[in-house]
Amino acid sequence: MSIKKTITIGKKTNQPITINRFGYGTMQLTGDLVWGEPKNRTEALQILKSAVNKGIQFIDTADFYGPDVTNRLIAEALYPYPSDLVICTKVGLSRSSDKGWRPFNTPENLRKSIERNLKTLKLDQIQLVHLRIMPNTETPFEKQLETMFEMQNEGKILHVGLSNVNPNELNVALKMGHIASVENAFGYRQRTTFKVHGQEYRGLEGVMPLCIKNEIPMIPFWSLQNSLPKNDDKISVIADKYNATSAQINLAWLLHYNELLLPIPGTSQLKHFDENIKAFDISLTDEDMKFLG
Ligand SMILES: NC(=O)c1ccc[n+]([C@@H]2O[C@H](COP(=O)([O-])OP(=O)(O)OC[C@H]3O[C@@H](n4cnc5c(N)ncnc54)[C@H](OP(=O)(O)O)[C@@H]3O)[C@@H](O)[C@H]2O)c1
């Protein structure tokens, strides 16, 4: 079964971007609790450089990782950026001094966050920005998205995407403007919405039909974190068949599951990065996919 190796963001716009269909998520490149500098700064910079050298054209980040740590590492490792690199950031959240996460999604704060991302990433325009939805916050979703489209009109953002979105919100958003991508939680062992410490993490499965209908790229987060620790028997069988690791089969499964999926596995280890990217070359059969389910 051959997989589609590229994906187009903003396909229905006049500025589509086609990139390799395997990205890298930077959230693991900070200290514990997504706070402060990484334990091994040299390795963090090496991973980013190696990612680009090995064909990664999509890097996921946020100004609230660190805060600012991953953005600064990206700039240090890769600026001036290759012209075909998409750096995707997200807004809607910020960090409190106790390392917590809080909504930061009033129009004024969304603007502050974009300016902060532009500064730390050393960019004049960000190719893709996800509005990261925090359910049940004060600022209405429509108002938040309106601000995103305003900043797009002003040229600060090229494409607007949504993260942690539910089907109702996505339907509303599609009537308001072009949605270039959706970033929700999704992995082999966790495909639907779940809650951790009262926070709702929306799964991709619920919005997938809408994304497929509208040809919207789907960016799964936590595709390893929620699946790897479960030591799945079926994954192990396929891993043995291809002399691969569980992580590689989890990622290969994503790549075969739907051609609109763009994996962004995160890691703080160069050896795991090298292992993960090899999943791009694993070709599963229809029988493998049926077996995995
Ligand atoms: N939009 C959102 O709300 C949201 C939320 C969360 C994350 N994200 C984005 O999604 C990206 C991916 O999520 P994530 O990094 O949190 O989790 P993930 O990709 O699901 O998994 C990362 C975890 O898996 C481990 N890992 C990676 N490769 C491995 C391998 N080959 N073998 C064994 N363990 C391996 C990592 O540990 P090591 O570091 O030791 O390799 C880390 O603990 C993030 O980096 C971030 O950019 C977005």
- DSSP codes, 134-167: -TT-SS-HHHHHHHHHHHHHTTSEEEEEEES--H
Lowest mean pLDDT among 44-53, 65-74, 105-114, 230-239: 230-239
Q: 67 Cβ partners below 8 Å, 6+ apart? A: 94, 95
Atom of ligand 1 nearest to the CA of 223: 20
Q: Are strands 182-185 and 194-196 parallel, antiparallel or unpaired?
A: unpaired
Cβ < 6 A, ligand 1 pocket: 25-28, 60, 90, 132, 163-164, 183, 221-225, 228, 247, 264-269, 272, 275-276
The pLDDT tens digits of the residues spanning 117-161 come to 999 999 999 999 999 999 999 999 999 999 999 999 999 999 999
264 C-alpha vs ligand 1 centroid, how far in Å?
A: 8
Question: In the predicted model, what is the mean pLDDT of the chain?
Answer: 97
Judge whether 105 and 92 are in contact, CB under 8 Å.
Answer: yes
pLDDT the model gives residue 139 = 98
Query: Is residue 232 very low, low, confident or very high in pLDDT (cuts 50, 70, 90)?
Result: confident
Whether residue 227 has pLDDT greater than 80? yes
The pLDDT tens digits of the residues spanning 40-91 come to 999 999 999 999 999 999 999 999 999 999 999 999 999 999 999 999 999 9
Tokens of 95: 């960090």
65 classed as catalytic: yes
Distance in angstroms (rounded) separating the CA atoms of residues 64 and 95: 6
Atom of ligand 1 nearest to the CA of 266: 15
Q: Identify the DSSP state of 181.
A: -
pLDDT the model gives residue 1 = 82
Rounded alpha-carbon distances, angstroms, from residue 268 to 99, 167, 243: 19, 33, 24
Atom of ligand 1 nearest to the CA of 227: 20
Tell me the domain boundaries of the chain.
Answer: 6-292
Cβ burial of 234 (10 Å; 0-12, 13-18, 19+) is: middle
pLDDT the model gives residue 230 = 75
pTM here is: 0.98
The identity of residue 108, as a single letter, is E
Whether residue 217 has pLDDT greater than 90? yes
SS3 92: coil
Among the listed residues 221, 204, 193, the one whose alpha carbon sits nearest the alpha carbon of residue 170: 204
Architecture of domain 6-292: Alpha-Beta Barrel (3.20)
